[in-house]
Structure 1
């Protein structure tokens, strides 16, 4: 039921009010107080009502944040002295989808054991309903202002910046407010929350953010920021209008956050360029499965100073274990104020990397066949997440998406010809397994 990023799927098919009610009841069995927030999708209103009903009839008090960024929800669990948090969101997925993601008081998403506990209760239709006079309360709270104040509390910019923030019609308006409070001249794109995402698709990719890149490149702006629907992701554009790759951002954030002898947590699909750049400063990388819950788990270790994913999820463990797109926006603004992002990015030697996603039926069975073939044919194989093959001068990764019916392919090498060759090999492995 739960993928690595919670429950996600088409509304009315995989994600229903019945499911939200069941999750609320399952969570309410051992939860006295819960924080709930949602992204702008219209279906989020009814899913919130259903989930909240399940919690309240279990005797759980609910703090309802209404429309709120996922990192606001993640942080508010501790702020409100709650036992759990719930984001009603499908994050970067298309508007017909929605989902449910659960948070611990630390800001970390529910791990595999906690997700399985809730799943088992839902399967067994477990509940601990209370009498009519013991129902939990539902209280409306606006935590966005506190999120903004937290972001700016200990941060100063070396100079004032001109920043364009593409909110993507999502819940990340707190970023514009925080940057404004830091003294930036802020212009917004797609700032009106709208769960149909009319301005651009929710996922902040280079293709989807062409308007942002063009505006920043053709204006006097110093920086462009883009979020997905719930603002757990952040991507950036340089003053020249170049959309920075997630690997470059990961390298920049990691080098800024970690010191010599410390580690940075990165997923298995991260470029070699990140490890090379961090190694120059005697910073190690530690690989995790793809998914912010795994990066957060690694980032909770004492010598891990930062964790991130090239998709745009960034975690500073001393602040929160929830990926916080608005926090990342403020951090990248501070770096840009000190030295232009284009100059910083130029310091990172990048290598040819190929990524694609292929829609498949029965992705688990396809990956089983790929795994068997790869283990038989290759020597240096990791199955930490999917199948990763180290070829010495390059590597390939095939893994199933945690939220969609896709197998993702990544191939990288230090020269163009080898990268194309490895990418072709990976595609052949997938096609032979379909």
Structure 2
């Protein structure tokens, strides 16, 4: 049976895969497991619960809150807020756990649930496995005054915005920024934070109706932001996703500034002020070689992990590093939060532009993108990828041809029955040719 928890909580089609019954059962199981491992320290536990604006989040939040309260947990319902806001509030409220109902950048029909432990930290794999194993257990239900109470956390948004603005190294007065909030969870708090920090804001994708989250807007549909920035004559723009844990940007000419460029800008800014712990950035193996080479040339080590924010976080925690992220725009700054925060990322970009007086395009030019060719190979046995000698030899040959000016990455998808072939080279023609050659080898050697 497949593991219920993925790399970022439990996700699926709302009311089919992610049902009210499942949300309730997961919440009860989470309360029991966290109590058993000492997260509650023997006292009456408190949880913070939030959601993005999806219509299904209304009934899934009700089920989650009901499950927690039935297990004796007092619940503070924060309503519609970004995922990083809930993580922050768990820590700020000294709560014992948190729950966020969201499917992030997924289409509206999907939804999901993720849990946070004390301090706003994501749960470790072993705790998620224990929660899954305890679903629908028979348990002793509290009664009378022992049941949990439910209250509204009415000032959660204000607390979160104040936290964001207080963390900035400088104000951003005079900047004109376009924000695409993806009709999502940051539609109110993101513009409020930018305005409090001094920016003039043009807002798009900020009219959530429960059905339009991520629909032709946000970080997965960047075109609207590109057009809006140019039309408004703005300094730059940012695009968030549905739960606002990601941020991509576009410069004044509407040119995309991706997660690798954002991380390079922020890493250099932190190193300049002596706040980049270990002079190290933690990124994934999918980050562009151009970023790696640019940062290494500036004396910054790039530690690369497997794809997934939980692996980035693990690398950061293990080495005590403060900055990490993914090409997708999921950037983690551990001095300010425990998870990726798109609004904070955008604010930090703005602060760097304001402090240097340079344009975003100029800052982003610190790195040159190497052409990347990524091909998904279906109809193969991905379990044999790492043991096939012919495939390994083909990879070595391609790497020899590329030398220091490129790289090869073959990996099994964690979510699909495919092998992903990625080739990066200074020359796009060479990258395509090598990628197609490797695809042929994979198909021939690993065919089902």
Q: Quick check: TM above 0.5?
A: yes
Q: How does 1:97-176 map to 2 (within 5 A)?
A: 97-122=110-135, 125=137, 127-142=139-154, 143-155=156-168, 156-157=170-171, 159-173=173-187, 174-176=189-191
Mapped contact 1:313–1:325 kept (Cα < 8 A): yes
Q: 1:346 is matched with which residue?
A: 365
Mapped contact 1:262–1:305 kept (Cα < 8 A): no
Mapped contact 1:25–1:54 kept (Cα < 8 A): yes
Q: 1:385 is matched with which residue?
A: none
Q: 2:196 is matched with which residue?
A: 181
Larger radius of gyration: 2
Given the alignment, which residue of 410, 419, 426 partners 1:414?
Answer: 426
Say whether residues 1:246 and 2:273 are aligned partners.
no
Mapped contact 1:397–1:426 kept (Cα < 8 A): no
Root-mean-square deviation over aligned CA pairs: 2.6
Say whether residues 1:8 and 2:25 are aligned partners.
no
Distance 1:412 1:74, change over 3 A: same
Q: 1:398 is matched with which residue?
A: 411
Distance 1:334 1:407, change over 3 A: farther
Distance 1:430 1:335, change over 3 A: farther
Given the alignment, which residue of 315, 320, 344 partners 2:332?
Answer: 315
Given the alignment, which residue of 70, 80, 83 partners 1:57?
Answer: 70
Say whether residues 1:80 and 2:83 are aligned partners.
no
Please list the CA deviations of residues 193-244 of structure 1 after superposition, one character each: whole Å capped at 9, or x if unmatched: 2332267346613xx1211101212332001011111001111010111011
Mapped contact 2:174–2:200 kept (Cα < 8 A): yes
Please list the CA deviations of residues 88-141 of structure 1 after superposition, one character each: whole Å capped at 9, or x if unmatched: 00000111110011123333321212211211112x635452124311011110
1:407: Cα distance to partner?
Answer: 5.8
Q: 2:288 is matched with which residue?
A: 271
1:255: Cα distance to partner?
Answer: 2.2
The whole-number CA distance in structure 2 between the counterparts of 1:280 and 1:412 is 19
The whole-number CA distance in structure 2 between the counterparts of 1:270 and 1:104 is 29
Distance 1:33 1:297, change over 3 A: same
Q: 1:19 is matched with which residue?
A: 22
The whole-number CA distance in structure 2 between the counterparts of 1:107 and 1:2 is 18
Runs of at least 5 residues in structure 2 that lack an aligned partner in the other structure: none
Higher alpha-carbon deviation: 58-67 or 215-224: 215-224
The whole-number CA distance in structure 1 between the counterparts of 2:218 and 2:437 is 28
1:183: Cα distance to partner?
Answer: 1.4
> Whose helix fraction is larger, Structure 1's or Structure 2's?
2
The whole-number CA distance in structure 1 between the counterparts of 2:47 and 2:399 is 42
Given the alignment, which residue of 295, 306, 310 partners 1:289?
Answer: 306
Distance 1:321 1:117, change over 3 A: same
The whole-number CA distance in structure 2 between the counterparts of 1:272 and 1:85 is 37
Please list the CA deviations of residues 237-296 of structure 1 after superposition, one character each: whole Å capped at 9, or x if unmatched: 101110112222222222223458421111121111121111122111112222212212
TM-score, reference length from structure 1 = 0.89
1:396: Cα distance to partner?
Answer: 2.1
Say whether residues 1:192 and 2:207 are aligned partners.
yes
Mapped contact 1:57–1:135 kept (Cα < 8 A): yes
The whole-number CA distance in structure 2 between the counterparts of 1:54 and 1:389 is 53
Say whether residues 1:38 and 2:47 are aligned partners.
no
Aligned length in residues: 420
1:343: Cα distance to partner?
Answer: 0.7
Please list the CA deviations of residues 377-426 of structure 1 after superposition, one character each: whole Å capped at 9, or x if unmatched: 316989xxxxx989644212333244x67765532122222211233245
Distance 1:158 1:245, change over 3 A: closer
The whole-number CA distance in structure 2 between the counterparts of 1:223 and 1:191 is 17
The whole-number CA distance in structure 1 between the counterparts of 2:390 and 2:233 is 55
Mapped contact 1:93–1:203 kept (Cα < 8 A): no
Higher alpha-carbon deviation: 194-203 or 81-90: 194-203
Please list the CA deviations of residues 356-381 of structure 1 after superposition, one character each: whole Å capped at 9, or x if unmatched: 567x68xxx842133343x5531698
Higher alpha-carbon deviation: 15-24 or 291-300: 291-300
